[in-house]
Structure 1
Amino acid sequence: MWWLQTLNTIFFFSFLLFAYFNLNDKDSWLWVPIYVLAAVLCGLAVFHRYFGTLYLWAIGFYLSYAVALFFVKDGVLDWVTKYNRQSIVESMQATKPYIEKTREFFGLLIISTALGLNYWMNT
């Protein structure tokens, strides 16, 4: 499936770039490994190397963390209900915690989708 290899190549480079962007964050100890693991798994998928158990473990962790970010104070739910869905893309310097948590939430959903697609298509 050439389209899946192409998509995994895009995910690989994107996730590495996201890891790089997170190097200067205060929580880089968490986010760099999150993005690097996703990049490695997508990179290996380009070469038809799949690790179903690792996909499930990673997806479980990422989705659990996403649920926590959804409900935590100043999380996604507050962004929707309390802060009227202010733009999360206007500045890359997130000074508002609900914007940072919402961005992280969607990043986790993107990673989970990429890994879920690989799991579903190849195991």
Structure 2
Amino acid sequence: MILIILNIIFCVAFLGFAYVNLNDVDAVLWVTIYMVAAVCCGLVAYGLYYPVIYLAAIAFYLVYAIILFFAKDGVRDWMMKYNRPSIVETMQAEKPYIEKTREFFGLLIVAGALAIDYFAI
């Protein structure tokens, strides 16, 4: 029962994340990323589970997160070069590292949610 409730929360959250990315420059990529996670979590809430899709999505999200971590003005630069300033002060990504760092953490959240399902079921 707890897993079902958790997946409903994840599904609604990922639908919201997809919605706020509709006006982004790379909307197709990010809406797809969040919608795949929302659908997977929604299906689990209905008792449907596809482990191969979960593994493929988790692998994609983690590989993309690694790419963002090491990219120019990515997470590593945010930590080392810029000394970890706040990335949540405004919604506008005014500094070059803000967008990649936020995307990195979004990917970790999605991969974590899918990993919970993968290992719990």
1:79 matched to 2:69: no
Deviation at 1:5, TM superposition (A): 0.9
Cα-to-partner distance string for 1:58-95 (whole Å, 9 max, x where unaligned): 00000000000000000000000011101011111112
TM-aligned CA deviation for residue 97 of structure 1? 2.3
Distance 2:88 2:13 in 1: 17
Instruction: Report the Cα distance in structure 1 between the residues aligned to 2:89 and 2:54, rounded to whole angstroms.
Output: 32
Residue of structure 2 in register with 1:21 after alignment: 20
Aligned to 1:106: 105
SS of the residue corresponding to residue 85 of structure 1 reads coil
CA distance in 2, matches of 1:44, 1:93: 33
* Partner amino acid, structure 1, of 2:25: K
Rounded to whole Å, the distance in 1 between the matches of 2:78 and 2:114 is 26
Letter in 2 for 1:10: I
**CA-based RMSD:** 0.6
Gaps of 5+ in 1: none
Tell me which residue corresponds to 1:88.
87
Q: Whole-Å Cα distance in 2 between the matches of residues 97 and 14 of structure 1?
A: 26
Any unmatched runs of 5+ in structure 2?
none
Q: Secondary structure at the match of 2:44?
A: helix
What is the SS of the residue equivalent to 2:9?
Answer: helix
State how far apart, in whole Å, the 1-side matches of 2:32 and 2:91 are: 20
2:11 aligns with 12
- TM superposition score normalised by structure 1: 0.96
Looking at structure 2, the residues matched to 5 and 97 of structure 1 have their Cα atoms a distance apart, in angstroms, of: 38
Runs (4 or more) in structure 1 with deviation over 3 Å come to: none
Q: Percent identity?
A: 61
Give distance in 1, aligned partners of 2:47 and 2:86: 38
CA drift at 1:6 = 1.1
State the Cα distance separating 1:48 from its structure 2 match: 1.2
How many residues get paired? 121
Give 1:3 shift: 1.2
